[in-house]
Amino acid sequence: MLIRLFRQNQPIVLLLLLVVLAVLWPGAAPLLADPFVAMPVGMPLYGPVHRLLAQGPWVFIGVGGLLVLALSFQLNVVVNNAELFERRNHLPALLLPILLALLPHGLVPDPAFMGLFFVLWALRRIWSLQGRMNVLGTLVDAGLLLGLAALFYLPYAFLVVVAWASLAVMRPFHWREYLMPLLGAAAVFVLAWGGWHLFAPQAWSPVGSLRSPDPSPWAIGHGHWMYGVVLVVVMGIMVLAGVYSFTALYGHSIMREKNVRSSFLALVFAVGLLAVFAWLIDGRVPPVLLAMPLAVLLSYPLLRARQVAWAEAGLWALLLLAIWARWMG
C-alpha cells in the first residue's frame, strides 16, 4: 500500500509522513534529548538551533520533528526536479525519516543534519545548469550555499568538488566556471570567520562540529541479536537491488539524464569520504550522511519494481525495524 501511494506524483500522500513521524518520533525523543543537550555547538550557525531545541523536551520533540519533515520534503523536491528518476514520485521523502530512525540518534538535528538543508539547496542550483549559457551567477550561489552549510558542519566545504564534477560532465571546460563555487564558499567562510572572531570568538569551534560529547551515547546498541541479523539482510538486499536498478536505468538514459545521475554518483562518493573522515575523527558517522544517499538509492528498486508485493515487504520490514529501534532499542 505504501509503495503504491508514494510511487504516485500526488502531493496529498505526503501528509502520511505525519503519521510515520508520529509513530517513530515519540519513541526516540526520550532517548535523544539528553545527549543532544550535552552535544558541543561547534560551528557558529548551529548555535541558535542548539539553543532553541535545548529549551525543553516538548520544544525538542515539536521543532525536531518539523525539521525532519522539512528535510524530507526538500530532498524529495530536489531529486524530482533534477529528474534523477524515470518519473516523479515521493519515495525519497518516505525513506529518509525511516532510515534516520534506524540509525543511532538519527533523528537528532545535529550540525550535519542542519547543514544538509543548504547542501541540497546548492545541489538544486548546480543541477539546473544544463542547457544554460550564463551560469557564473548560479555557480557563485551554489558556492555561497555550500559555505553556509560549512558554517553548520565544517566538512561540507569539501562538497565544492561535487560542483566541479557536475561541471565536468555537464559543460565544456571553462576555468572561470570552476573558480566560481570555490570563491563563493571562500567568501562566506572568510567573512564569517572574521566577524565571529571580532564579536563572538567562543562561537567558532570547527572541531566541535565533528565531535560528540561522549562516544558512548552515539554507539550502536547491542539490543537483540535477531534485530541486527534482520537489519543486515534487509538492507543488504535492498542496497543490491538499488545498485542494480540504478545501473540499469543509467544504461538506457539519454545524455542529459546521464549527466545528472553522474553528478549524483559524485555526490555519493564525496559524502562517503566525509563519512569515513567523520569515523576516523570521532568514531561515529553523522546519520544523515548515510540516510540521505540511501533514501535516493533505495527509491530506484521500489519505483521500478514489477512485483510490488516484494518491494512492499522490504519497505514494511524497514519501517518495522525502525519502530523496533525507536521503541525497544
What band does 224 get if pLDDT is binned at 50, 70 and 90? Answer: low
Find the distance separating the first CA and the last CA of the chain, reported in whole Å.
27
User: Which is higher by pLDDT, 260 or 26?
Assistant: 260
The 10s digit of each residue's pLDDT in 48-103 is 888 888 787 778 888 888 999 999 999 999 999 998 998 899 999 999 999 998 88
Query: What pLDDT sits at residue 220?
Result: 42
Query: What pLDDT sits at residue 35?
Result: 58
Written as nine digits, the cell of 32 is 535523544
Say if residue 105's pLDDT is above 70. Answer: yes
Q: Cα–Cα distance between 195 and 216 in angstroms, integer?
A: 35
What band does 218 get if pLDDT is binned at 50, 70 and 90? Answer: very low
Q: What is the mean pLDDT of the chain?
A: 84
Say if residue 216's pLDDT is above 50. Answer: no
The 10s digit of each residue's pLDDT in 143-194 is 999 999 999 998 999 999 999 999 888 887 788 888 999 999 999 988 887 7
| Domain of residue 157, residue span | 2-328
| DSSP letter (8 states) at residue 152 | T
Query: What pLDDT sits at residue 219?
Result: 40
Global pTM reads 0.90
Written as nine digits, the cell of 324 is 523496533
**Mean pLDDT, residues 101-124 taken together:** 90
Query: What pLDDT sits at residue 215?
Result: 46
Torsion angle (degrees, nearest 10) of CA 292, 328, 65, 147:
-40
If one counts the domains in the chain, the total is 1
Say if residue 5's pLDDT is above 90. Answer: no
Question: Are 142 and 160 a contacting pair, CB within 8 Å?
Answer: no
The 10s digit of each residue's pLDDT in 148-157 is 999 999 899 9
Q: Cα–Cα distance between 300 and 244 in angstroms, integer?
A: 9
Residue with cell 560551528: 43
Long-range contacts of residues 219-228, Cβ cutoff 8 Å, at least 24 apart: 219/104, 219/284, 220/104, 221/104, 221/329, 223/325, 223/328, 223/329, 227/321, 227/324, 227/325, 227/329
Query: What pLDDT sits at residue 72?
Result: 95
Torsion angle (degrees, nearest 10) of CA 184, 190, 194, 199:
60
Side-chain half-sphere exposure of 222, counting CA atoms within 13 A: 0
Considering only CA atoms, which of 93, 168, 88, 89 is closest in space to residue 126?
168
Q: Cα–Cα distance between 38 and 57 in angstroms, integer?
A: 14
